[in-house]
Structure 1
Amino acid sequence: MANEQSHNEHFEELCSGYVLNALDEDERAEFEEMLAEATDEQLRLYQALWSTANQLAFTIERNEPSETLKSRILAQIQADSESSSDEATVTSIDDQKTAEDQDRSFNWSAFSTAASFALLIVSLSLLFYSFNLSSEIDRKETVIGNQETKITELTNELERKEEMLAILESRDVDMVLMSGLEVNPDGYGKVIWDSEKQQALLQVANLPPVPTGKDYQLWLIRDNQPVSAGIFAVNDSSRDNFFKIEEMAQASEQSANAFAITMEPKGGVPQPTGDMYLLGNMTPDNSN
Structure 2
Amino acid sequence: MSERKESMMELAEAYVLGELDATEQAEYEAFLHDDAQEKQRVTELRDTTGMLALAVRPAAPPTGMKGRILANVLGSSGAVDTQQGHEPEALLEQAKQTIEAEAIRRDAEERSNIIQATDAVQGSAGAKTSQGANVVSLPDRARDQTTASDSKKKLPSEARTDSEPRNLQARISRSLWAGAAALMAAAAVILAIYSGQLRSEMNEMRSNLTAMEQRASDMEQQLAAANEPAVGAQVDRTVALVGSEDDPNASGMAAMVQDETGTRLVVQASDLPALSGNEAYQVWLIKDGQPINAGTFLSGDGKGALTYTMEPGDYDMVAITLEPDAEGDQPRGRMVLTGALT
User: Which range, TM-score by smaller chain?
Assistant: 0.3 to 0.5
Name the larger-Rg structure.
Answer: 2
TM-score (norm 2): 0.31
